[in-house]
Chain A
Amino acid sequence: MKKRIFFLLLLWGVAYAAQAHEPLYGFGPHVLFKGGFAPHLTLKWNQNEFESEYALGYGLTRNWTLIAELPWSTTDGEYRISGTGLRSKYRFWLKAGKGISHQASLITRLEMPADGRGSLLSMAVTTGQEALHLYWFASAGYGLRMGGNGSAPGHRMIYNFSIGYRPYKVNYYKPDIVFFLESSGNVFARSSENGQNSEESGGGNFALAPSFFLTYRNYALRGGIQYGLWNAAYAPKIERNFKLTLEVHI
């Protein structure tokens, strides 16, 4: 036990991670086994910015996982903690057969940025299938931005759909890979300033991302490239970015 705590503290101190067993640019219904720990490191970068996130998941029950998140980013040329997050994922439906499972979960996430922007409370429903060859995930959520610095940024709807395919026969004792194509998007409501809706706000965007999920037993590496394809009104176009996640289950 002491060894495990030391290992976790060590990881907390030196690594910054996030979740591998989900779409890279969205959510998924997978929960951790009861009593399991899952430290993860996520790196995301584009031409102008570098972000990393360390997260630690814990399987509170067989259906309920709690995840603490610690994101870092380059802001004004400085690399620092950009906030903290707490995520709860509760699986309320599971149907399984030989080599296949369908699940659905409810995700609640509280993100508290460190830069004075308002906290973001998100709720999402996510469902999906995991099978020997074919995967899919579908999620939709609503983000409620609680105003910071006297302004009230617009609320946000998020959605994603991903399909994945495992081209090889799976064997628990050998490395495994699944390839995904992920689509994700946002719809932003108008922001308000002193009770007035801002005309120059709101809109939507959409992006596609090919990604992979490489695992060996309890180690997982996930990576992908996201391409912003569409944006409307005042929503920013998603810049092309790269993302990597390393996760271990212990």
Chain B
Amino acid sequence: MKYRIQSYSFLALTWLTLFLLSDTRIHAQEAPQKVFVRMEVDGLSCPFCTYGLEKKLKKIDGAKEVFIDLQAGEATFIVTKDKQPSKEKLEKIVKDAGFVPGKISFSEIKAKKEDER
């Protein structure tokens, strides 16, 4: 009897471990890697003119959390890695909005940070 209970417990634990492992794997595949994009934009001084830049940034496929800081002279947003726009595309967007592009940087957001969000 004791041996049977031990066997069932072992099977149950094995099943649970396998389930949790597979679940984590699925989640890891589902959550795409995200990228934080930071762009220095020269000429940002007037909120009324800035709307054109915000409008164009929001049109980028997958762009989320678009934020423009006039004091810092920069625009930031988050995008998934598979939809990350090129520097050339971002420079064109800034120019079409009537501004001058500066330094553009991309930094990957760690999954842990993503969960915290």
Q: Please, how many angstroms separate the alpha-carbon atoms of A168 and B28 in the complex? A: 47
Q: Please, how many angstroms separate the alpha-carbon atoms of A220 and B52 in the complex? A: 14
Nearest B-chain residue to A100, judged by Cβ = B45
Q: Tell me if B43 and A172 are in contact (CB < 8 A).
A: no
Nearest B-chain residue to A220, judged by Cβ = B48
A82 CB to nearest B CB, Å = 28
Q: Tell me if B96 and A96 are in contact (CB < 8 A).
A: no
Residue B61 at the chain A interface, CB threshold 8 Å: no
Q: Which of B40, B70, B95, B97 contacts A172 (CB 8 A)?
A: B70
Decide: A33 near B68, CB < 8 A? Known: A217-B47, A249-B52: no
A39 CB to nearest B CB, Å = 14
B47 CB to nearest A CB, Å = 5
Instruction: Kindly identify, within residues 39 to 55 of chain B, every residue whose CB is under 8 Å from any CB belonging to chain A.
Output: 40, 42-55
In the complex, the number of residue pairs spanning A and B with C-beta atoms less than 8 Å apart equals 92
**Which residues of chain A are near B40, meaning CB under 8 Å?**
98
**Total interface residues in chain A, CB < 8 Å:** 33
**Which residues of chain A are near B42, meaning CB under 8 Å?**
96-98, 101
Residue B69 at the chain A interface, CB threshold 8 Å: yes
Q: Is the interface of B mostly helix, strand, loop or mixed?
A: mixed
Residue A32 at the chain B interface, CB threshold 8 Å: yes
Nearest B-chain residue to A97, judged by Cβ = B42
Residue A94 at the chain B interface, CB threshold 8 Å: yes
Residue B85 at the chain A interface, CB threshold 8 Å: no
Instruction: Kindly identify, within residues 85 to 114 of chain A, every residue whose CB is under 8 Å from any CB belonging to chain B.
Output: 94, 96-101
Decide: A215 near B43, CB < 8 A? Known: A31-B98, A170-B70: no
Q: Tell me if B49 and A34 are in contact (CB < 8 A).
A: no
Q: Please, how many angstroms separate the alpha-carbon atoms of A167 and B53 in the complex? A: 24
Q: Tell me if B43 and A101 are in contact (CB < 8 A).
A: yes
A136 CB to nearest B CB, Å = 13
Residue A147 at the chain B interface, CB threshold 8 Å: no
Identify the 7 closest CB pairs spanning chains A and B, nearest first. Answer: A33-B52, A96-B43, A101-B43, A96-B42, A218-B51, A34-B96, A98-B73
- Chain B residues engaging chain A, CB cutoff 8 angstroms: 40, 42-56, 68-71, 73, 95-100
